[in-house]
Structure 1
């Protein structure tokens, strides 16, 4: 039911003559509203967000409410590396977008079932199931080297390409943004220790990125 809200993201670097290009990275995201805003991790689109060459493009693919697959170019609206969050926007004209159904993360319980949806290794809308190991309180590193506090720890598999996708509760509400995993040494595969940024943090950060394009603390 939540698959139409999930977005497949590709970071494409154009060739020097502006033709063709190669995929530099992939990730996931989810539709935030009917205006075309998409929430994802900053590290998924960091090359695009900091690009000064003009050769990076962001291509997103998703399914609209009518079941039609849409592939569009997206623009970066705002980002907050300290919380590893970013907002993209696609032209929503004439499209029936299905925003994610968002929940809250503050009342999660240890042992609660959850589900991760994303695009691991490019396989679109892959669902993995697990349990919330620790409701809140874990600490994970941010792209800037600081700490993101209050992360959700889960054993729902998060592999390459899952970053930025939604972590759902059993009612289908988004309770976090899949962000990081501890990988088995030498394999690159998930160890079963995975983390998501809690939805309560996302609620604090994303509206300011949409309005100001910058975190609340930097808005002036």
Structure 2
């Protein structure tokens, strides 16, 4: 019953049109035609749309920020080649000395490639142990490591990398290159504490030999366990859907501020395809921060010193 007055109000007939003022002349046929055309144009016009945000709005910040992120972080990322150097024939006073990696790689075979990043201004490079495992296990010095870097101006150059420490338990290794301080761009080291599933992350590396490649994604999971090269489990790994393929190993996983939050290490691949399934893993940077100083000072961790000897 309470609705009846309201229904009557809504359904009552429209009010009659207002009485035209007698002294106003009726519109001419020309004016009537113009008014009709205007109504047709108005009816045909598309419905109004929200205006696009200005260049400094949230919708447009993403892309320039990612571009700037890559430009600032990529000089800290290195390309690593594991080479088998053939010995020079004896003679001409060289005493049968082997080639150095600066010799245009003549007679060298590339055994594998990987990534790494500049740890400090002393020339220490952090990478995965499995990237340089052959270098660690070959006492004949037939394996050499060539590290490709960029200076602050973007100029590329290469240096021999000396393995100074490794930790198979956490799949980490440290190389050393002799480079002038002003030519090095150490990476910004962040923290993996406080990471949240869903936040953006970026992987920079050299997948399949393509140098300085950026892939984007999110933190897909935390606290994962992945196997290490010596069969133990690496706990606390970061899962991400940022593409990681062969050659990305050892490169940095960074956050939206360019801080390294992990070391890209492993991926699940579709059986028989070699293609990443989108389930990729990185060693958390807090683990790396605990391990790397020991590798720099002592060459290896306590648990692996018997292996190093």
* TM-score tier (shorter): over 0.9
Q: CA deviation at 1:15?
A: 1.9
Written as runs of structure 1 = structure 2, the 5 A alignment for 1:191-202 is 191-202=277-288
Q: Deviations over 1:98-119 (max 9, x none)?
A: 0000100011001011000000
Which structure has the larger Rg over C-alpha atoms?
A: 2
Any gaps of 5 or more consecutive residues in structure 1? none
Tell me the residue number matched to 2:234. 148
Q: CA deviation at 1:196?
A: 0.1
Tell me the residue number matched to 1:106. 193
Any gaps of 5 or more consecutive residues in structure 2? 1-71, 89-97, 100-106
Tell me the residue number matched to 2:202. 115
8 Å contact from structure 1 (residues 4, 63) kept in 2: yes
CA RMSD, 1 decimal: 1.4
Written as runs of structure 1 = structure 2, the 5 A alignment for 1:1-220 is 1-17=72-88, 18=98, 20-93=107-180, 95-134=182-221, 136-217=222-303
In structure 2, the residue corresponding to 1:78 is in which secondary structure? strand
> What is the alpha-carbon distance in structure 1 between the residues aligned to residue 75 and residue 253 of structure 2?
15
8 Å contact from structure 1 (residues 205, 216) kept in 2: no
Range that drifts further, 174-183 or 8-17? 8-17
8 Å contact from structure 1 (residues 119, 125) kept in 2: yes
Greater relative contact order: 1 or 2 (C-alpha under 8 angstroms, separation 6 or more)?
Answer: 1
State TM-score, norm by structure 2.
0.69
Q: What is the total number of aligned residue pairs between the two structures?
A: 219
Q: CA deviation at 1:206?
A: 0.3
Structure with more of its chain in strand, by fraction: 1
> What is the alpha-carbon distance in structure 2 between the residues aligned to residue 55 and residue 23 of structure 1?
12
> What is the alpha-carbon distance in structure 2 between the residues aligned to residue 214 and residue 57 of structure 1?
19
Range that drifts further, 109-118 or 9-18? 9-18
Q: Deviations over 1:40-77 (max 9, x none)?
A: 00000000011122100000001011222110111001
Moved over 6 A (4+): none
State TM-score, norm by structure 1.
0.96
Q: CA deviation at 1:131?
A: 0.5
